[in-house]
Amino acid sequence: MAGVSLKCGDCGALLKSVEEAQEHAELTSHSNFSESTEAVLNLVCSSCGKPCRSKTESDLHTKRTGHTDFVDKTSETAKPISLEVPKVVDDSAGAMDVDGSSSQPEEMVVPEVDKKLLEELEAMGFSAAQATRALHYSGNGSIEAAVNWVVEHENDPDIDQMPLVPANTKVEAPNPSLTPEEIKIRAQELKERARKKKEEEEKRMEREREKERIRIGKELLEAKRIEEDNERKRLLALRKAEKEEEKRAREKIRQKLEEDKAERRRKLGLPPEDPATVKPSAPAVEEKKSSLPVRPATKVEQMRECLRSLKQNHKDDDAKVKRAFQTLLTYVGNVAKNPNEEKFRKIRLNNQTFQDRVGSLTGGIEFLELCGFEKIEGGEFLFLPREKVEMVVLNSAGSELSSAINNPFFGVL
């Protein structure tokens, strides 16, 4: 007895035609097929006409649509099937199938659908393949039927593949269950629903962007606050150091005055002053290192010492020292204001003006080197590379130079 289905010996799947068996073999690489008398189920939904090939598929359809009535048409669709190779009647007549039809494969094409309905479905967000498949299998009749088909088959593995049918196949549109007015209202509802969904998505994205802008703004404010706090601490440390230096200078002047007074008394033949009547000198203020975490603290001390030694080495010519300080302040200020201009970051050492104002004074070139300048081209130039420009160091250098120019006690020690 001929079988009514083909059974895969590897996985047990029932297939209702040789073509299905070939497709199954291509997808799974299974090759062990045999004829079976067990028919493939054909359960047809009484409500929508969807065929189901298994009890599991019918249960899934019921869960999705709520349709519970199915008609068993397994016996009507079951046909004898055989794996035997059909005999060739006549070489000149061409190869024939068992049922007498030609074995020549038919041409497969994309089915024709209503272009207006297709455009409307694509405008609602469905892909071209989904819209074409939905219109074709729903009868190419209405937007509602196509949308319902997509909802019902959204989990099908081939939902995103363009359907193919034989070239001579014609699909007749079923009689619509709704009137044209109802179809128009339904389509309008679907469009409105799609529009609202798009608006909600845009609002959600706008809220996310607003949250991101607020977060970035808070981070920038916090970074600015920290920077201002560090700058305030640095300025406090500089002011404290200046006050301590003024105290040391005044103490040294007082001691110098006491020595001069004692020298005058000695020259006049007067006895030295009674130490008991002399006011005790204030204890020398010991220099304390700042405990604040100031980044350029070490360089600040070196710059101050460099300027102090420059003034002490040329204490007999205050005008020349002040001119050197002002020239150094100009160099530092030009680089701080224009860090990308190379002409402000490069100084020729043998330039006569530079030599007269800074180069010939001990400590002038050393101060520029503390600011980041380097000797290049065999010592012919002083150059500050752009990547080594540190605004904190330049600002500290400017503060030290301004203090040295305006503080009358600077460098007295």
Highest-confidence segment of 34-43, 85-94, 113-122, 211-220:
211-220
Query: In the prediction, which pLDDT does 294 show?
Result: 46
Helix (H), strand (E) at residue 250: helix 180-267
Q: Is residue 210 packed enough to be buried (19+ CB in 10 Å), middle (13-18) or exposed (0-12)?
A: exposed
User: pLDDT-based confidence at 211, cuts 50/70/90?
Assistant: very high
**Section 202-212 average pLDDT:** 93
149 CB-near residues (< 8 Å, 6+ apart): 134, 137, 138
Q: Is residue 169 packed enough to be buried (19+ CB in 10 Å), middle (13-18) or exposed (0-12)?
A: exposed
355-361 contacts at long range (C-beta below 8 A, 24 or more positions apart) = 357/323, 357/324, 357/327, 358/324, 358/327, 358/328, 361/310, 361/313, 361/314, 361/320, 361/321, 361/324
CB atoms within 10 A of CB 121: 25
Torsion angle of C-alpha atoms 188, 189, 190, 192, degrees rounded to 10: 90
Give yes or no for a contact between 338 and 344, defined as CB atoms under 8 angstroms apart. yes
- pLDDT reading at 234 higher than 60: yes
Closest to 33 (Cα-Cα) out of 50, 47, 53, 13: 13
Q: Please, which residues bridge with residue 151 across strands?
A: none
Query: In the prediction, which pLDDT does 289 show?
Result: 46
Tokens standing for residue 364:
């002038």
Q: How far is the C-alpha of 407 from the C-alpha of 58, rounded, in Å?
A: 98
The rounded mean pLDDT for the chain is 79
The values of phi and psi at residue 351, to 5°, are -65, 130
* pTM more than 0.85: no
* Segment 378-403, tens digit of pLDDT: 888 999 999 888 888 899 889 888 88
Of 54-58, 270-274, 314-318, 320-324, minimum mean pLDDT range = 270-274
| Three-class DSSP category at 64 | helix
Query: In the prediction, which pLDDT does 274 show?
Result: 67
User: pLDDT-based confidence at 3, cuts 50/70/90?
Assistant: low
Torsion angle of C-alpha atoms 101, 104, 109, 111, degrees rounded to 10: 0
- pLDDT reading at 187 higher than 70: no
Q: What is the DSSP letter of 373?
A: -
Strands (E), 312-373: 346-348
**Section 299-314 average pLDDT:** 86
- What is the side-by-side strand order in the sheet with 51-52? 51-52, 43-45, 70-72
253 CB-near residues (< 8 Å, 6+ apart): 409, 412
- pLDDT reading at 95 higher than 50: no
Q: How far is the C-alpha of 226 from the C-alpha of 221, rounded, in Å?
A: 9
Q: How far is the C-alpha of 80 from the C-alpha of 237, rounded, in Å?
A: 101
6 CB-near residues (< 8 Å, 6+ apart): 14, 15, 16, 17, 18, 20, 21, 33, 34, 35, 36, 81, 83
Give CA angle at 281 (278, 283), nearest 5°.
160
Query: In the prediction, which pLDDT does 11 show?
Result: 78
Strand 381-383 relative to strand 346-348, pairing = antiparallel
Residue recorded with tokens 């469009």: 191
Q: How far is the C-alpha of 342 from the C-alpha of 385, rounded, in Å?
A: 8
| Three-class DSSP category at 72 | strand
Query: In the prediction, which pLDDT does 85 show?
Result: 44
CB crowding 333-347: b at 16 or more within 10 Å, else e: eebbeeeeeeebbeb
Q: Please, which residues bridge with residue 70 across strands?
A: 45
Query: In the prediction, which pLDDT does 413 show?
Result: 54
Q: How far is the C-alpha of 333 from the C-alpha of 40, rounded, in Å?
A: 92
* Segment 311-353, tens digit of pLDDT: 888 878 888 888 998 999 999 999 999 999 888 999 988 899 9
